[in-house]
Homo-oligomer: A and B are copies of this chain.
Amino acid sequence: MKPYLKEHEWSIIEEGFDPDKHEISESIFSIGNGHMGQRANFEETYTGSSLQGSYMAGVYYPDKTRVGWWKNGYPEYFAKVLNSTNWIGLRIVIDGEDLDLNEAKVSEFVRELNMREGYLQRTFKAELREGKEIKVKATRFVSIVQKEIGAIKYDITPLNFDGTLEVTSYLDGDIKNKDANYDEKFWDPVATSLSKDRASVTVKTKKLNFHFCSTMETQLYRNDQKLDVDGVGSEEVKYAGITYKAPLVKNEATTIYKYAANVTNRDHDEQQLETVSSKSLDGAVKKGFEQLKEEQASAWKQKWLDSDIVIEGDISAQQGIRFNIYQLNQTYSGEDARLNIGPKGFTGEKYGGSTYWDTEAYCLPFYLATSEERIPRNLLIYRYNHLEKARENAKKLGFEKGALYPMVTMNGEESHNEWEITFEEIHRNGAIAYGIYNYVNYTGDKSYLGEYGIEVLAEISRFWEERVNFVPQKNVYMMLGVTGPNEYENNVHNNWYTNRIATWTLEYTLYVLDFLKDTDPDLYAQWIEKLDLKEEEMKKWVDIIDKMYYPEDKEQGVFLQQDGFLDKELLPVSKLDSKHLPLNQNWSWDRILRSCFIKQADVLQGLYFLNHEFDIETKKRNFDFYEPMTVHESSLSPCVHSILACELGYKEKAYEMYLRTARLDLDNYNNDTEDGCHTTSMAGTWMSVVQGFGGMKISNDQLILNPFIPGQWKSFSFKVLFRGARLMIHVDQEEVTITNETDIASDIVIHSDKIYLKGNDQITVTH
């Protein structure tokens, strides 16, 4: 599909209404605030193709697993993000005719996602039957200041007639998940209530007893005057609506304000939900739409101050990167350690679950560099809180000790059910350990290790200890039957990445234990006791570190993705006729598996994570070997390649890889954006700019920068919060300027030169 969105620095803009693109736009123009979010559905009736989707963070449903052939150990349920009460509904009836863009003649349609200020706006003209024309302007946002509040301003102006407006403002809780495995509805009714101006609907999930209450108030205005109209209420099961009638006056805008307060028993007493939501609604109504919108703009201004990336000379790239940052910020705000970053955020329900290894491997760096410490720390705490479930998961799979974190989860329990992934893609455990390292390395907050980190690290280490097997005739440890990050290989022996991230975990755990022993012997002793950590275990870890087998080809100087990789027919992707691509749509699974083609960075993922361990020549040999065979059919692949390409000075390749992620959803590159946006891979795009083009790393408590700028750009700049200092790094073709926007001084290394940058100071160096 040809890109259809207008390029703009700060907004996503769709001009003209094309029903065929509506579901894609519903994904792209989604709004959210970390607590809730929704697809860019129309407020009024729409009978065309649409995925009505409204999601509350942390409210999920254990949907009965669907498989063709059951394997022992599969989870019974897949925890799914739950499509919830639709609170935006405004049925607009004009002179007896339902406004429906699938029926009306639509013109001057503009849909805009204003990312700078955080709202969705839509304007259009519609010609109804008998030639009646109206103009509509609908503005909507979910507040990032008051997380439970959503607000709509809906202006209707009749252009060539006087008439009557009948608007039914409603809450509809009779909602079904599109991805329900057995076509079931997941919500049961609890209560509905109606008063003159307000209605409330409370529903609860059929399992797990999540309660969700939405309360709304609707007001009609004309010429800044509140209209004194009496609403007529109607209730159905899981539904409440209030219908208002008002005259429509030619060329005068009638404005409908709708406020909703959406609360769940995750945050409030189950019995008090209606009261709480009504009280919350009071505050919002009192402030009114315009003030709420101003607060929203001001809060987003702060978000951008912390996390913006500016690209000059390439408006398309500018729009792309801002869209990614916007989505990340509206998906996860880090206030609530029970939440995580779902693969589609609030933009769709595909893939269910909320947490993949994407969080630690790709998302964490974004939040580390753009948010206060407590935000990424909450991502770690999330895993810490799931440790017991991860222990149970390991037990369920037959391990006597240790913890195996799930591949896909909502509440710590495994949801996924493909054996080659669920049971074998265990490298995720390493990423979770690496996340701890990454957090401590970035923030310098070593207290986390003694407070929480060591327990997670030790339990993951124990898992690796049991998962490897010693091969006496070769005097090595091996890891059999795994799937590495490259999911285009399944059930392989000795995936280099997995073997290495396993021993790395053991090394880091031993390092952390030593660190605790040195710095806080009492705490160390407590942990040793609590974890019942034996001397022999630690010795075993050392033995595994010493004797782990890593497949490699010494002649070519490359690490081998797994045993037997060189027995494949090795071909570059460029030799494949393009009709074969993407492989996952054209080749049967066995053909993909026995080919050399790589879905996403695997050995290279290891070189990215453990970058400091390998010299540049090693990285180069491996990059040169694997990159040509990589098809990047995971949206998480190009960013790692882009970052390594930057380090290796492969400028063209770096930019090519960057382009593959930057506008993935905006240009619907994978032809699946209607299902929702690729939220987690958006963090990869941010990484490409900051860690790739910016060359940012943290080492020895220093911020290291090795920027280079793609030839196509005039300049780019990014913000980094580093140990309290907010630094703006501006890179153009000649020089790099770093501005410290705070009082806090910072040690920085640019292109190997060590710089001390005082508070509120600026420094410029040439490339």
Contacts and interface: CB of A to CB of B under 8 A. Distances in A.
Interface string A459-496: 00000000001110110001011000000001101000
A20 B518 CA distance: 66
Given A491-B491, A567-B471, A590 B66 contact: no
A72 B584 contact: yes
B567 A423 contact: no
Contacts of A575: none
A72 B398 contact: no
A276 B363 CA distance: 71
A424 B474 CA distance: 30
Contact of A480 (B474, B490, B564, B586): B564
Contact of A397 (B420, B481, B590): B590
Contacts of A566: 471, 473
A418 interface: yes
A65 interface: yes
Interface residues of A, number: 44
A68 interface: yes
Contact of A68 (B65, B424, B478, B493): B65
Interface in A573-627: 584-591, 593-594
B481 A72 contact: no
Contacts of A589: 71-73, 419, 423
A73 B67 CA distance: 17
A568 interface: yes
Nearest to A418: B69
A207 interface: no
Nearest to A426: B590
A242 B67 CA distance: 43
B481 A594 contact: yes
A164 B260 CA distance: 71
Nearest to A471: B567
A591 B72 CA distance: 10
B418 A568 contact: no
A563 interface: yes
A396 interface: yes
Given A66-B66, A67-B67, A72-B586, A493 B591 contact: no
Given A67-B68, A480-B568, A590 B423 contact: yes
B481 A588 contact: no
B73 A493 contact: no
A471 B569 CA distance: 7
Interface in A63-94: 65-69, 71-73
A417 interface: yes
A68 B71 contact: no
A71 B493 contact: no
Contacts of A398: 587-588, 591
A417 B69 CA distance: 8
A370 to B, nearest CB: 34
Interface string A33-74: 000000000000000000000000000000001111101110
B594 A480 contact: yes
A650 to B, nearest CB: 28
Given A564-B480, A564-B563, A588-B396, A569 B469 contact: yes
A245 to B, nearest CB: 46
Contacts of A66: 66-68
A492 B281 CA distance: 61
A481 B587 CA distance: 14
A343 to B, nearest CB: 14
Per DSSP, chain A at the interface is loop
Contact of A424 (B585, B587, B590): B590
Contact of A417 (B68, B418, B584): B68
Contacts of A569: 469-470
Given A66-B68, A563-B563, A594-B481, A469 B568 contact: yes
A564 B565 CA distance: 13
A204 to B, nearest CB: 27
A567 B419 CA distance: 22
A418 B68 contact: yes
Contacts of A470: 569
Interface string A434-463: 000000000000000000000000000000
A73 B588 contact: yes
A674 to B, nearest CB: 17
Interface in A368-397: 396-397
Interface string A177-204: 0000000000000000000000000000
A584 B586 CA distance: 33
Given A491-B593, A567-B478, A594-B481, A72 B585 contact: yes
Interface string A222-235: 00000000000000
Contacts of A588: 71-73, 396-398, 419, 423
Contact of A567 (B480, B491, B590): B480
A614 to B, nearest CB: 25
Interface in A272-328: none
Given A66-B68, A67-B68, A563-B564, A590 B473 contact: no
Interface string A549-568: 00000000000000110111
Contacts of A478: 567
A79 to B, nearest CB: 14
A398 B576 CA distance: 14
A551 to B, nearest CB: 11
Contacts of A418: 68-69
A441 B587 CA distance: 39
A73 B584 CA distance: 10
Interface in A118-133: none
A423 B593 CA distance: 11
Given A424-B590, A590-B419, A493 B584 contact: no
A78 to B, nearest CB: 8
Interface in A205-241: none
A65 B586 CA distance: 19
Most buried by B among A397, A398, A563, A567: A567
Given A66-B66, A490-B491, 15 more contacts: A68-B68, A69-B418, A72-B584, A396-B588, A397-B591, A419-B590, A423-B590, A469-B567, A470-B569, A471-B566, A480-B564, A480-B567, A490-B490, A491-B590, A493-B564
17 contacts: A65-B68, A67-B67, A67-B68, A69-B417, A69-B418, A398-B587, A419-B590, A420-B491, A424-B590, A469-B568, A469-B569, A474-B567, A480-B564, A481-B593, A481-B594, A490-B491, A491-B593
Interface of A: 65-69, 71-73, 396-398, 417-420, 423-424, 469-471, 473-474, 478, 480-481, 490-491, 493, 563-564, 566-569, 584-591, 593-594
In the complex, the 6 A-B pairs of residues with the closest C-beta atoms, listed nearest first? A73-B588, A423-B590, A481-B594, A480-B594, A67-B68, A71-B589
